[in-house]
Homo-oligomer: A and B are copies of this chain.
């Protein structure tokens, strides 16, 4: 999959998600903010409703995960051929989400980002924690943290 870089626009990146991760289409994900420093994904209420007419917790987690993975993806695929995998995550559901929602991945602090890039460059692999937030009427509704590992591909 290496070769798809930030030269993609957000519609192309949206197509890439739908094609490669079909659940992203079922979730109804629409790429919202698409940059190296900030990435957010929108999802509609109707695709993700549950029996209580709130958004299913599994959907909130999935969209938050994809927002972090996507931010990492567009920052790293320009640098090296590599694989990005999630190793762990923790999510807090602070209040119900009852409408269309946006998961926003927050760029990590400069220091931890540079440490991660340096380890990745020197050792061929590195791990980083990324956070995503989902707000409901300006209140924090979902607080997510995922740990992602990037591993450079060996040259053939």
- Known contacts A61-B65, A65-B57; decide if A52 and B22 are in contact (CB<8 Å): no
Q: Do B65 and A62 touch (CB < 8 A)?
A: no
Checking B47, B65, B85, B96 against A58 with a beta-carbon cut-off of 8 angstroms, the contacting residue is: B65
Residues of B within 8 A of A52 (CB): 1, 83, 85
Residues 91-117 (chain A) with a chain B CB within 8 angstroms: 91-93, 96
Q: 0/1 per residue, A56-69, Cβ < 8 Å to B?
A: 11110111011000
Nearest CB in chain B: distance from A77 CB, A? 11
Q: Do B23 and A89 touch (CB < 8 A)?
A: no
Categorize the interface residue count of chain A.
20 to 34
Q: Does A21 contact B (CB under 8 A)?
A: yes
Checking B49, B66, B86 against A22 with a beta-carbon cut-off of 8 angstroms, the contacting residue is: B49
Residues of B within 8 A of A137 (CB): none
Q: Does A20 contact B (CB under 8 A)?
A: yes
Residues of B within 8 A of A48 (CB): 22-23
Residues 31-80 (chain A) with a chain B CB within 8 angstroms: 47-52, 56-59, 61-63, 65-66
Q: Do B51 and A23 touch (CB < 8 A)?
A: no
A-B pairs with beta carbons under 8 Å apart, 25 shown: A1-B52, A21-B49, A21-B50, A21-B51, A22-B47, A22-B48, A22-B49, A23-B26, A23-B56, A23-B58, A23-B59, A26-B26, A26-B27, A52-B85, A57-B65, A57-B89, A58-B61, A58-B63, A59-B62, A61-B65, A61-B89, A62-B62, A88-B90, A88-B92, A89-B91
